């Protein structure tokens, strides 16, 4: 489903590559944790999947499509098919919880009736039904991350990318977020998770890809956090 074909990314000429000659294949429905030190290339790898950065060499395939060759219109479609969750939540600060999630549905072209039905439903799924009219600044970090997950999920994407989603959260909230991600994966969505958090990776107990200095150094189908 997702295939990184000998991908290298160099941000500035003369600097060492952020990602170097990575070949990686991810099947539909997998839960893959990508671990490594800061600067190991985890985030760059994921950014290439939703086309925030493009590879310097090699190609990234989503299904049969080479992402780099997609038109702007198709790229936008691709993004609507990939949910993204980040360490810094990236919610729209002037929109309330309902509007943040509705926005993702609106850009996907959903009708007002569908939006009114889907938003409360997905908020219940992440346990935030009662905060529907709150603004991001009125929520705790854990709650904001749940809103971000709800927004990522609401279009029922094939893939959910979670880039350090627990980085700003306390252990209890971090655990809750991982639980939610696992539930989503159980429902059939492919989940790609990058993290520094050993207990998170160990509690998931699925495939672990370890990166170091831009390269994949270990790929363990039932791994734990080993650096």
Summarize as ranges the residues that interact with other proteins (CB under 8 A).
Answer: 50-52, 72-73, 75-80, 84, 90-95, 99, 103-104, 106-112, 151
Minimum distance from CB of 109 to other proteins (Å)?
Answer: 4
Rounded to whole angstroms, the Cα distance separating 96 from 119 reads: 12
Toward other proteins, which CB reaches closer, 167 or 212?
167
Toward other proteins, which CB reaches closer, 81 or 203?
81
Minimum distance from CB of 107 to other proteins (Å)?
Answer: 4
What are residue 211's DSSP bridge partners?
A: 216
Sign of the CA dihedral with 77 first, then 78, 81, and 82 last: negative
Toward other proteins, which CB reaches closer, 84 or 197?
84
Toward other proteins, which CB reaches closer, 56 or 199?
56
Token readout for 8 is 């290298």
Minimum distance from CB of 55 to other proteins (Å)?
Answer: 15
DSSP E strand boundaries for the chain: 2-9, 19-26, 31-35, 57-62, 65-66, 82-86, 159-163, 190-195, 207-212, 215-220
Contact 180, 128 (CB under 8 A): no
Instruction: Name the residue among 168, 179, 118 with its Cα closest to residue 145.
Output: 168
Minimum distance from CB of 216 to other proteins (Å)?
Answer: 25
Q: Quick one: DSSP state of residue 71?
A: -
Minimum distance from CB of 71 to other proteins (Å)?
Answer: 10
Toward other proteins, which CB reaches closer, 6 or 116?
116
């Amino acid at each position: 489903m997702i295939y990184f074909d000998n991908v290298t990314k160099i941000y500035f000429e003369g600097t060492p590559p952020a990602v170097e000659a990575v070949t990686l294949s991810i099947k539909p429905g997998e839960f893959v944790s990508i671990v490594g030190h800061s600067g190991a290339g985890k985030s760059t790898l994921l950014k290439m999947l939703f086309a925030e950065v493009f590879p310097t060499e090699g190609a990234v395939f989503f299904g049969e499509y080479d992402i780099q060759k997609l038109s702007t219109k198709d790229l936008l479609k691709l993004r609507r098919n990939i949910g993204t969750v980040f360490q810094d939540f990236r919610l729209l600060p002037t929109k309330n919880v309902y509007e943040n999630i509705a926005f993702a549905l609106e850009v996907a072209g959903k009708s007002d009736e569908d939006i009114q039905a889907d938003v409360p439903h997905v908020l219940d799924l992440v346990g935030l039904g009662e905060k529907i009219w709150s603004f991001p600044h009125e929520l705790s970090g854990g709650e904001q991350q749940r809103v971000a997950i709800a927004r990522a999920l609401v279009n029922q994407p094939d893939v959910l990318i979670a880039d350090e989603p627990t980085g700003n959260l306390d252990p209890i909230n971090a655990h809750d977020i991982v639980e939610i991600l696992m539930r989503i994966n159980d429902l059939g969505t492919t989940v790609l998770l990058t993290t520094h958090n050993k207990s998170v990776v160990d509690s998931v107990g699925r495939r672990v890809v370890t990166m170091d200095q831009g390269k994949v150094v270990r790929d363990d189908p039932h791994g734990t956090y080993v650096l």
